[in-house]
Amino acid sequence: MPGHENASLSASRPLRLSRAAGFPSLQALHRFARPVLVIMPALGLVLGLAAGVAGHGPWSGLIWAVATVPVLVVLIVEIVGSLRRGDVGLDIVAALSMTGALVFGEHLAAVVVALMYAGGQYLESFAERRANREMTALLGRVPRTALLHRDGRLEEVPLDVIAPQDRLLVRQGDVVPVDGLVAKGVAVLDQSALTGEALPVRKRSGEPVMSGVTNVGDAFDLSATHRAAESTFAGIVRLIEVAQRSKAPMTRLADRFALAFLALTLALAGVAWLWSGDPVRALAVLVIATPCPLILAVPVAIVSGVSRAAKAGVLVKGGKVLETLTRVRTLVIDKTGTLTHGRARIVEIRPMAGLSSDRLLQLAASLDQASKHVIAQALVAEARGRGLDLLPPTEVEEIPGEGLEGCVGGRRVIVGGIRFVSWRVPRVGAVAAGQHPAGSVVVAVAVDGAPAGLLILADPLRTEAAQVIGSLRRLGVTRIILATGDRREVAQAVTVGLHLDEVHADLTPDRKIAIVQAEKRHGPVMMIGDGVNDAPALAAADLGLAMGARGAAASAEAADVVLLVDELDRVPGAIGVARRSKRIALQSVYAGIGLSVLGMIAAGLGYLTPVQGALIQEAIDVAVILNALRALWGVEPS
Ligand code: ADP
Ligand code: MG
């Protein structure tokens, strides 16, 4: 992958740049060898023709033969390698036709096939590079250093020394290196690389900024909130690297056709030879089958689709995932942070035991600083917004999705859902039994073993929720099921009017897995979730989709698809892109094979010479590859 080696990041290491040292990699060798393998037969072809024109006819054949050999040798080495791995590929046809042409003295045909074959390979790698460009471009944007305000001066520092609260200067044109808040001035940011949104956005002082976006306005000061390795961009880069490594194109699709096509080709060639008694007819048939467009077109269409999705802020981890995305029948969706946007606001504070409202919120939010749960983050943001001083929590123990327990300023605090807290402090159950506004999220707090109060939050549905559910139904998702760890009353109140098939509430992470497993009998299941507590269910589903690359790294890593932007309407969009790519891939395969078979029959009947066959086949290949590249653009109407 070009540029890939420039930006190598791993999960545990902070952002660092490493350059491949020592021997050139095999890939680099390939990159160098490919153009040479095209130039040799091209040069041979021209020289041989020139020799013929100049009256040195006998030399032509020799020159063409010599120019064919390097391509044939490299091809045979590759075939032996893939046979060892147990793959029977269509490259065999290419090798057979070149060998046959040399043996039967069709030297011009041999060199033309060699040129077409090597040219096709080159075209394919070009198309794949083009298709991958959006993903690779993201990797190439990783900044190396940042400008840090230190003791009244600006210092250029490596990213891994930046700590939360550090103040950085982001110049015009810089890529924002870590997640933070605008500290001074107004930032005008181009987020298109991450979200596909073309219009720049304005962020005022105090507003959050994601790493990985570009400053297109004046320089501004950024106050870091995360280390580089924990920032959004590092998360995205890690995910892309995983996606590229697991880039398994639709091999099953190609496999289905490859062996059948190989058998058909050999049979047709054999019949043509037997029937006409002329081996050159068989050769012409083989030549037309070389190289089969399906090995070229399928990966190009799939990689294009993955790239197209990345451009829209949806990271699809490989071709197989893209294929699964086209078959989803059931959706299991989480509530908090997924169907709702999780930016909950406090609507009521009910303190007890002589605490003030602010003190209750301060204790709860101080402890919740240790949690990545969306509701925890909302509480912390509210407390900060009210100017409360947050204390560092210690001895924290969390049960993801349920709540946590720890020490804050010398007091033992428990924060979480009613079930979680009342299980530890039973009196909380009675306190929380009262009436709450419909659909509101209730966070219970206990301090030093006694109920301390309730925090009531409104966490409304995303505005696009109903429309997204409607689009998914139109795309053929027949069952849509809510699976939430929250209370039944909340789940029911929030989902009124969404027409869901089932609503499951009060779930623990393993109950979410059980629901996903049970749904699998209706067809492929997609699970959409956001929190750490959703990671197991995301992994259990046929297709896990995580909201947001940072929020909870565990869920993004367990998922097959990650929304790099916090917008639910990207889900039907991604399914549309997947469908379109698959349709284009299949279209290329059927059209390519159909045309090739027609050509083979014409050649078998003696209407095409091997040289004409090679030229026709090349035209088919180019058309099919260009068609496959269409998957880079456009969307499926839904
Ligand atoms: P969902 O499955 O819908 O995403 P969760 O299981 O993640 O919901 O959360 C359910 C409820 O648990 C929340 O609405 C909240 O009341 C409570 N909760 C869980 N973790 C925390 C936390 N760290 N701080 C406060 N409340 C929490
Ligand atoms: Mg959630």
Condensed to tens digits (0 to 9), the pLDDT of residues 320-351 reads 888 899 999 999 999 988 998 877 899 999 99
pLDDT at site 517: 92
pLDDT at site 271: 94
Is a pLDDT exceeding 90 seen at residue 452?
A: yes
Is a pLDDT exceeding 60 seen at residue 570?
A: yes
Which of 144-153, 291-300, 532-541 shows the lowest mean pLDDT across its residues? 291-300
Give residue-wise pLDDT tens across range 476-503.
Answer: 999 999 999 888 888 998 898 888 999 9
Which ligand ends up closest to the CA of 509?
1
Give residue-wise pLDDT tens across range 249-296.
Answer: 444 555 567 778 888 889 999 999 999 999 989 999 988 886 556 666
pLDDT at site 539: 86
> Could you tell me which residue, 572 or 259, shows the higher pLDDT?
572
Which of 62-76, 154-168, 605-619, 624-638 shows the lowest mean pLDDT across its residues? 624-638
Cβ 415 under 6 angstroms from ligand 1 = yes
- Work out the number of other CB atoms within 10 angstroms of the CB of residue 85: 6
Highest mean pLDDT (candidates 254-263, 299-308, 545-554): 299-308
CB crowding 583-603: b at 16 or more within 10 Å, else e = ebbbbbbebbbebbbebbebb
Cβ 404 under 6 angstroms from ligand 1 = yes
Sign of the CA dihedral 623, 624, 627, 632?
negative
Which ligand ends up closest to the CA of 399?
1
Largest CA distance in the chain: 109
SS3 495: coil
CA end-to-end distance (rounded Å), the chain: 33
- Work out the number of other CB atoms within 10 angstroms of the CB of residue 445: 29
pLDDT at site 237: 75
pLDDT at site 550: 53
The best mutation among 366, 390, 419, 486 to test binding of ligand 1, ranked by most ligand atoms within 8 Å of the C-beta, falls on 486
Which ligand ends up closest to the CA of 377?
1
Read off the pLDDT band of 556 (50, 70, 90). Answer: confident
Q: How far apart are CA 346 and CA 178, in angstroms?
A: 29
Highest mean pLDDT (candidates 82-91, 109-118, 242-251, 288-297): 109-118
pLDDT at site 250: 47
Atom 12 of ligand 1 has which residue's CA nearest to it? Answer: 417
CA triplet 485, 487, 489: central angle to 5 degrees?
A: 145
Distance 528 CA to ligand 2 centre (A): 9
In eight-state DSSP terms, residue 291 is S
Q: Phi/psi of residue 343, each to 5°?
A: -90, 65
Cβ 15 under 6 angstroms from ligand 1 = no
Q: What is the mean pLDDT of residues 24-39?
A: 67
Q: What is the mean pLDDT of residues 582-595?
A: 86
> Could you tell me which residue, 332 or 201, shows the higher pLDDT?
332
Cβ 402 under 6 angstroms from ligand 1 = yes
Read off the pLDDT band of 3 (50, 70, 90). Answer: very low
Is a pLDDT exceeding 60 seen at residue 28?
A: no
pLDDT at site 135: 63
Distance 486 CA to ligand 2 centre (A): 9
pLDDT at site 456: 94
Sign of the CA dihedral 343, 344, 346, 351?
negative
Structure tokens at 346: 């406090």
CA distances for 425 relative to 90, 376, 395, angstroms: 68, 20, 18
Q: How far apart are CA 232 and CA 230, in angstroms?
A: 7
Instruction: Read off the amino acid at residue 600.
Output: M
Is a pLDDT exceeding 50 seen at residue 75?
A: yes
Distance 472 CA to ligand 2 centre (A): 20
Q: What is the mean pLDDT of residues 509-533?
A: 89
pLDDT at site 432: 77
Give residues with Cβ within 8 angstroms of 335, minimum separation 6: 482, 483, 484, 486, 490, 491, 494, 495
Q: How far apart are CA 134 and CA 359, in angstroms?
A: 49
pLDDT at site 623: 86
Read off the pLDDT band of 69 (50, 70, 90). Answer: very high
Predicted TM-score (pTM) of this structure: 0.73
DSSP letters, 196-229, are ---S-EEE-TT-EE-TT-EE-SS-EEEEE-S-GG
Is residue 375 a contact partner of residue 441, using CB atoms and an 8 Å limit? yes
SS3 122: helix
Read off the pLDDT band of 307 (50, 70, 90). Answer: confident
In eight-state DSSP terms, residue 186 is -
Q: How far apart are CA 239 and CA 158, in angstroms?
A: 22
pLDDT at site 136: 66
Active-site residue set? 334
pLDDT at site 320: 81
> Could you tell me which residue, 404 or 585, shows the higher pLDDT?
404
Q: What is the mean pLDDT of residues 69-83?
A: 89
Full set of structural domains in the chain with CATH: 144-244 (2.70.150.10), 322-341+462-573 (3.40.50.1000), 345-458 (3.40.1110.10)
Q: How far apart are CA 334 and CA 529, in angstroms?
A: 5
CA triplet 232, 236, 237: central angle to 5 degrees?
A: 120
- SS (HEC) of 70-120: HHHHHHHHHHHHHHHCCCCCCHHHHHHHHHHHHHCCCHHHHHHHHHHHHHH
Distance 463 CA to ligand 2 centre (A): 17
pLDDT at site 244: 58
Cβ 235 under 6 angstroms from ligand 1 = no
Percent of the chain with pLDDT over 70: 86
Is a pLDDT exceeding 80 seen at residue 308?
A: yes
Percent of the chain with pLDDT over 90: 36
pLDDT at site 82: 80
Give residue-wise pLDDT tens across range 340-385.
Answer: 887 789 999 999 878 899 999 999 999 998 888 889 988 998 998 8
The best mutation among 361, 373, 484 to test binding of ligand 1, ranked by most ligand atoms within 8 Å of the C-beta, falls on 373
Average pLDDT taken over every residue of the chain: 83
Is residue 97 a contact partner of residue 283, using CB atoms and an 8 Å limit? yes
Highest mean pLDDT (candidates 201-210, 361-370, 557-566): 361-370
In whole angstroms, how large is the CA radius of gyration of the chain? Answer: 31
3-state helix, strand, coil in the chain (%, to 5): 55, 15, 30
